[in-house]
Structure 1
């Protein structure tokens, strides 16, 4: 795990102002003034499926939602080639953890993070770049930790490397939460989790779903749902499902080849989630899946998802 030095890591903004030097105090004070101007915090998660191929979608997302924090997955660009200047020109600080052609995650924020970390403990240079997390000031100047992950897809139950890698990713996240956090802390885990938590999150046709289960294809295998259930038992809440327990027609991934997004009713999977800690749950205000952005020209196969917190 890489820890990136930032402004006052891990400190509450109001507390950090006390006793700080003139330069740091100025930075934090300006950050706090901005936070006071916002009565809610908006977070977006988006598997962009190639950042350099879809700058138009990122620009449209920002123009429409004006998020405080954006988590991108599957950026598919090395750190050396990341379009840093172009993203900053959109009005965001950006931190990224990527590799050429595959995987890759990034966090974009209106204000700089108070702390930032890349990867899990035990990761090395050869580890896939799939996880980044930071701490940000909310509208009250209090810290909210936001974890952004591109969870492994896993392929199928019998795959010798991909399925164990998916299980290991979920175990690493579980260990991080249990060893470093309380579920009463303000915390968000979001990203392309590559698991549909419930049957109402699946719309690929009954025959296809049965075949996937029979052949051990990943996305809603019983053991995958057990991994997700462990996270929920720790204290994570699926924000969309919390607000809309009966909605059965919202999905976040649509296969290009079968053109599931163009069909009515749409055929896809809800495998992108923004989950909050139970401590943050009372502040869930609104959540959604943006079909308009999925309907753009040359889109990602995923739709952006969003959350507003009081």
Structure 2
């Protein structure tokens, strides 16, 4: 990639992302925060929603799990994404329950974004959260007592690792599909912008954004080899693995698996473009 030099947007201050077009692949209802963070750094967000959520074909298992949780039949409610939180809120309303009726239920969350959503949308304070925001770490810190019941609502394409590890620890896990992940639509003409060399970076915040980007972009006539001239940034190791499995080169995987960490990683990447990368740099991955 023939990167441009960092822009000067204020006297004496260099903003590495200023003026750069950065593709946001998050779902429409989740894109605002990342758009806000990018714009605050002077970037030009390009919206290209690659995922959308849809209700499961059958909500009976989800509703039954919610009812049992409300009745105190579970020892833990495990939340793995803000999408799950949103769905639980919607189902509570449909079932005629108050959105704060889950108060008092012990809650574990995979990361701060999910914890914030639980607090805002359900009035829940999270009791447990791992230091590394991935399912494996959540399973490790939860350490359920043998025989304890765990309610695990999740996406239809969720990795089985969390459920499997909790079961291995002796928990009675009720894992249900809370929502389906489908390919998103709308947004900007990324294919056209890519063809003109007008995209600087593309961001992925989950394995499903990667998989659905490939599906959507290919269906619109795009070729993945065009990403060779674009910075590919992944929020964490699981997403990075998915991208590499799809034959993508990943340039940025931040040590802090959050949106803020991802933006910081992008800034670091563009600030050192054209210079020799220090071996100790924690943000920029090396290849070859």
Common fold by TM > 0.5 = no
For this structure pair, what is the TM-score category when the shorter chain's length is used for normalisation? under 0.3
Structure holding more strand per residue: 1
TM-score normalised by structure 1 residue count: 0.22
